[in-house]
Amino acid sequence: MQIKEYLEKYQPTIYKTFVNALHNEKLSHAYLISGNPGMPLKETALYLAKSILCDSPNPLACDSCITCARIDEGNYPDMMVFDGEKDRIKKGDIERIITNFDKTALESKGIMIYVLHLVETMTPIAVNSLLKFLEEPGKNIFAFLTTENEAKVLPTIISRTQVFRLKAINVKKIINDAVSAGVFQEDAELLSIFYNDPESIKNNIEEENFVIAKQALNDQLNAMLMSRDDAIFTCQRLVEPKMKSGIVTRMYLKLLSQVFQDLNNLQVNGEIIFTCYANIYEGLLEKLKNLDKSLLVIMSSMKKLELNVNTSLLLDHIIFEITKGAK
């Protein structure tokens, strides 16, 4: 599934609004694509931007004309993209946009577009420059901004943009759609807590950090089924050596916290996300005690991880706590 289908199927209001505006030449000068982490914010911004420039939109970017291809290759001088996820967007970046777009467009279409992914990461001084630029938009200049945290975006920026808020898709639906697209049930379920669209799930089944975190989780859960000693041994000998970066540790802990969320839910309403672990859960429910407390231990450990604590000590602490009193 391409981003076009994602918008058409899961975000129909945004899709229709933009198609109509494009067709009737009533586009806003600036759009803010707002959503939660895991949603395809940047992909949406890039695709809508591309749709304005596409040689033969049907009704949005065709993805096959020369212009679409050049944009995909980052080879279209009248479109500038800054990714706040890779590098904080600075004043110099905004100045580059202003200087470039002060001249006439290089391409014959005469349209110039800039994309700023995650504007909440911008330095305050860069935000000021952007505000001035947004106040006096050039006739054929369009902006696509994105944010994962609208509360952190200045109201003055929001008021100068048309806001498109991506709606979260029901997790079960995402899992089903990913499985229909050929993803294994286990991968679809595990990745559904990181990505809110089937396409991203499909694209990340072989992502290195995920593969490591998944293996670590499987090792740890199976050891917990054996005994407390096995669980601790596995944590120290198999899991901890794999946690070579903050990213993989965060992924592992997020997966582990969902396991304990599921275990708690099993006792309440039976609604779980990782149905692939149904058998393991059955065994864990017999062995483990204090499931609600264990969930809290994992959640607070995830916060501590942000404070640069020693990862091995943190994982030791978690496994000691959650296997306390285990049979």
Decide whether 65 or 158 has the Cβ nearer to Zn ion.
65
Q: How buried is 231 (Cβ within 10 angstroms: 0-12 exposed, 13-18 middle, 19+ buried)?
A: buried
Residue 201 and residue 197: Cα distance in Å, rounded? 7
219: nearest Cα among 256, 188, 270: 256
Task: Compute the least distance from the CB of residue 150 to Zn ion, in Å.
Answer: 30
Residue 326 binds to Zn ion (criterion: CB under 5 A): no
Residue 3 binds to Zn ion (criterion: CB under 5 A): no
Q: Structure tokens of 278?
A: 């149904």
Decide whether 99 or 108 has the Cβ nearer to Zn ion.
108
Task: Compute the least distance from the CB of residue 144 to Zn ion, in Å.
Answer: 17
Helix, strand, coil share (%) of the chain residues, nearest 5: 60, 10, 30
Decide whether 53 or 248 has the Cβ nearer to Zn ion.
53
Q: What is the dihedral of CA 318, 319, 321, 322, to 10 degrees?
A: 110
Task: Compute the least distance from the CB of residue 48 to Zn ion, in Å.
Answer: 13
Decide whether 65 or 280 has the Cβ nearer to Zn ion.
65
List all residues 6 or more positions away from 115 whose beta carbon is below 8 Å from its beta carbon. 42, 45, 46, 49, 79, 80, 81, 82, 143, 144, 145, 146
Residue 295 and residue 259: Cα distance in Å, rounded? 9
Interface segment toward Zn ion; rule CB under 5 A; list 11-19, 55-63, 92-100, 305-313? 55-63
Contact 113, 150 (CB under 8 A): no
- Near Zn ion by CB under 5 A: residue from 62, 193, 211, 302: 62
What is the CA 233 to chain-centroid distance, rounded?
Answer: 33
Given the structure tokens 């916290």, which residue do they identify? Answer: 257
Task: Compute the least distance from the CB of residue 31 to Zn ion, in Å.
Answer: 19
Task: Compute the least distance from the CB of residue 259 to Zn ion, in Å.
Answer: 44
Residue 65 binds to Zn ion (criterion: CB under 5 A): yes
Task: Compute the least distance from the CB of residue 56 to Zn ion, in Å.
Answer: 6
3-state secondary structure of 289: coil
Decide whether 65 or 276 has the Cβ nearer to Zn ion.
65
Phi/psi of residue 144, nearest 5 degrees: -125, 110
Residue 81 binds to Zn ion (criterion: CB under 5 A): no
Residue 68 binds to Zn ion (criterion: CB under 5 A): yes
Phi/psi of residue 299, nearest 5 degrees: -65, -45
- Near Zn ion by CB under 5 A: residue from 32, 45, 54, 122: 54
158: nearest Cα among 30, 26, 28: 30
Task: Compute the least distance from the CB of residue 55 to Zn ion, in Å.
Answer: 5
Residue 48 binds to Zn ion (criterion: CB under 5 A): no
Decide whether 4 or 304 has the Cβ nearer to Zn ion.
4
Residue 188 binds to Zn ion (criterion: CB under 5 A): no
- Total site size for Zn ion, rule CB under 5 A: 4
Task: Compute the least distance from the CB of residue 19 to Zn ion, in Å.
Answer: 15
Task: List interacting residues with Zn ion (CB under 5 A).
Answer: 54, 62, 65, 68
